[in-house]
Structure 1
């Protein structure tokens, strides 16, 4: 008797009610006893020729309804693993196709052949990108010319990388593991940047980024404020995803006007909130960029260059705030959360890029007397198993 696929597991396999896993399936697909699959109502034809080889996407076989359900289920499953009840779940945000504004690609030269693209899933093998349904068109348009350029810069068996970010002024490109010496080569690099309307072109030969082309200072606008964009600075993957997270944080913070933004980065949330904001950030370049931008815009954002893993804020320091926004890296905020759980802060907006570490931290906050009011799942890495969220806690 055939079994239906009932859900998608965290790594992208379809799962039957009996717990059997089948790759590249969708909810509603039927699995026959011999393992053959009959497509169900939520399966679509993957739009990209590189799927499923390319590691940039894992779930292109799902329609939007099934992908949205997967994003919600990732958050619910993480909370259930910590024995936490599911709070109100707001409608998930799913970023549209061709909206990714940053990407890291791998490059390799094999004699006359040059490969440029994402790696294959769980592999160092490069999928030579000839189309892409997640990148912004402005970035994908650079793939072919960058393939030619990297072929000229890499040795016969060389490998490197390309990092691309869409800034206010256009594409910001960083080439990794390459070095350009001499006047002629430097002029050729500048000509390439000018011909392709790059906002900035930089090289990293292993000793840090060196800008080779930047006609005007490169910025990214956050909360209506242009802020200098340091090399390698964190930026939400899509503009639409950023807007969804900012809207959720504003809702969680509510009427609070004295707010701490922990792991503030460039100020995605600090510059989008009203009132007096303390922004704590451990990365020096990001902290300096945020401080300078806030001062120019005359925003009441006070920047503290502080490593919250080594020097988290204690209960007394946190007690003066009406709300706290916290957006830690994937590992969560294991050092800061116990102190936050013992604080008297009335409202907490927690933004996470890892449902598992979020659930761990949520349990500590709930054990400390907080209530998890709601969560909003966010799928800005479209067709990927990478899920983000925003959540509201109160006491």
Structure 2
């Protein structure tokens, strides 16, 4: 594919008529129970005069569980699509630990009362309003399931939460662009407990940084429906102009910091002392920003200028002090699991740099070190 074709962007679809759907009620606050007991929060009964939105989540992992829970709290009828071997565990329900509450680890919040589907015929017959992809960029490309999903989608809004710079192109080869909403995950989620963490029972632990809203972009009416549903369910969200461009500029700094952290044994202190590695990650980030500018057009956001070694070093000191989680252990657990996605994203950026005839020596050097590290 030519560089021009890769860089081409479709215009936003025209707005659909207002009033696509209206969430039925404001969710109650997160509850608490006695230590060691789960707090069961069920959606309130809905008036028959108000249609209840139906949401299907593809994948029931760290992202799917959290988003599904908040959709349900906002009044949605929630279902999961999972592979057959995960169906029984999913039907058993989940324990969640929202860290944005008092005594967050004292008792889990119980998330249950949803349907579990394992075949596309059931998806097609489900009459879903919103379908959310909650898998990694690499999982998006495995097998033919995305094509099967497209065939079962109907007129549902498809929400894509995968972070890859080319993921939207892959999806819109199968689903009309005007039907797709792109989302940017703005929370931290992991299966707990981490080593040294005490929980009454295993469950999904998650934290939304202060003042953070989940960002979405796409056709106005469809995007508004997703944003409102999640906000009503307690997960604050907003509509932005272009999630794909925002992710392309914001993502590399985190992505390459994660690579550098893996090369440092998942420990911040050794990374801070490795000036050469920090400099390499900084240069790679600027190369990736050049790719984003070529692909999406326009000027680079001012914040991209902050991808400097001293800023990365400062971030490694600040993050552990702000987050209510052992961030070294979180990064190791989460990004080891999605390590193929990290490598895929880096290889994609290098390929696009070649397509656009842009520098990519630092990204190539970082990838070489990562591959060598993993092969040891």
TM-score of the aligned structures, taking structure 1 as reference length: 0.29
More helix, by proportion: 2
Larger RCO (CA within 8 A; separation ≥ 6): 2
Looking at CA atoms only, which structure, 1 or 2, has the larger radius of gyration? Answer: 1
Give the structure with the higher percent strand.
Answer: 1
- TM-score, normalization by structure 2: 0.30
